[in-house]
Chains A and B, each alone.
Chain A
């Protein structure tokens, strides 16, 4: 640059070079995206204008210096094809008259300008090609990286899920929307006396206790129709040996990205013991321990429910779910203590 300034003092029209650089900057801004302001672009192109002028007035081979200018256009992200077109064309039609002062008439300039045009285009093309390769490689690498990351995240979450699934004390079962069991954990299988593989062959419906089946299917349907996202009930299942197991059952729905139902996930706890204990306690509270006959509490409970007072004081919270089906079967429809009959 300093050298250009020296020689430019005599043979380069600095004001002309300014005007040329300003036009150049306007042109590149019109042509494509430029990350610099117009003033910054003009500053950069002014330096290039002086550089090109120095080469033109020099006697050395123009190639390396002019190729570098072409390259630096690409480095500055002035990569629109129109940029190289403008830069090459104006080198022969305006550059000499506008930028060169008293040197404009020097002999041999035409040939030199032609060589410079070639070098400018070559430098630009080479740099653009390299940049394209670099960016394509970069984005492809980023894509693989993103894919690896996503797979890793999936594996991690799968591993976390597996640990919870396998290690849970509660039974966990996953079924399709049609009820086909997709997977269950060991606790679930143990609770029902099947092997995991056996359960993977069957439909959840065949596990429902006959008395609860209709209500459960209804709940499943409501879940799948989106009426609830999750339900929690106390229901009975059949064990493989035909006996019943009381469970506290929480079912939730997993949807596809577009909202369609995909799986149901059931988390099941065996509450048979608790349930039976409740029944025993309840029976004891309402019956004479010696004779097993209903006691006064039961008498007044029944009486009070008949006169439609409140729920019996001895009613356990759990009863609200399991007595539900029974209530509806009582002819009167009034809450009753039939749960312990």
Chain B
């Protein structure tokens, strides 16, 4: 059954959820046996994947830093997952207590959990919606009256666009989101890839299809395309751990271990 908004109306607990598997890999306990079983299966096939997930969260933190340093004080975090550790609002509000964050996820349990956790945080909001319906995300975000779309904002799409298959036209979705953002806004994307990856990594990523959605691995070129005509900031769309590492020691000597690219772009268009 589908609700009128196209979101599944039933909570299927017999299936692992991407959000909870991810939480497990980050060391959280916001997960159930079914999630941990899948997580262990994935980890057994490729010891790299848990590290990739951590690297994804670390990339997000570093990207946030860049945005915060450029004065961005409002964020739309789509595919935000279960608020575990190092959440966007924590990072943002630590730097700027007035920072506003709107979280969006398709997972009803992640959404319910976020709502409970953020109940007392007046500068945050949570939307239950599907990235594949960006108009709805934008209209609900506007209705919350937390974000000012006439001012620069940060759109965060960390580890989520690969859940959108090509038939759902991710390029169009990204274009819709970009069109809604004022000049000076930023777009942050991390996205799984098949480039430079060993076969077992690719197999394991396919395993994630056991969660509600399958993953579509994409090339660097495809991922770069998601930034449209925005200006991609240095060092470009690169393996996540190579994106502005905190210290050289954080990057690995043996080349790209992690199966995902990360990039940040800024809307440098002038109004009109």
Contacts from A to B (Cβ < 8 Å): 26, 29, 32-39, 77, 79-80, 131-132, 135-136, 138-139, 141-143, 145-147, 149-150, 153-154, 157, 257
Contact = CB atoms under 8 A, between A and B. Distances in A.
Interface of B: 1-4, 8-11, 13, 20, 25-32, 53-54, 57-58, 61-62, 82, 85-86, 90-91, 108-113, 115-117, 246-247, 249-250
A80 B26 CA distance: 10
A130 B250 CA distance: 31
B9 to A, nearest CB: 5
B121 to A, nearest CB: 16
B1 A37 contact: no
A135 B28 contact: yes
Contacts of B32: 139
11 contacts: A29-B250, A32-B27, A33-B53, A35-B57, A136-B30, A138-B116, A139-B109, A150-B108, A153-B3, A154-B3, A157-B9
Q: Which of B4, B11, B25, B116 has most A Cβ within 10 Å?
A: B11
Contact of A139 (B90, B91, B113, B250): B113
Contacts of A157: 3-4, 9
A149 to B, nearest CB: 7
Contact of B112 (A26, A77, A145): A145
B3 A149 contact: no
Contacts of B4: 157
B37 to A, nearest CB: 16
Contacts of B86: 33, 35-36, 77
Contact of A38 (B26, B85, B247): B247
A141 B111 contact: no
A19 to B, nearest CB: 14
Contacts of A26: 249
Contacts of A145: 112, 115-116
A287 B246 CA distance: 93
Contacts of A38: 246-247, 249-250
B27 A33 contact: yes
Given A32-B54, A142-B116, A39 B3 contact: no
Nearest to A31: B27
A18 to B, nearest CB: 15
Contacts of B113: 138-139, 141-142
Contacts of A135: 28-30
Contacts of A146: 11, 108-109, 111-112
Contacts of B57: 33, 35
B16 to A, nearest CB: 13
Given A38-B246, A80-B27, A150-B11, A143 B112 contact: yes
A43 B265 CA distance: 31
B28 A154 contact: no
Contacts of B27: 32-33, 77, 79-80
A272 to B, nearest CB: 34
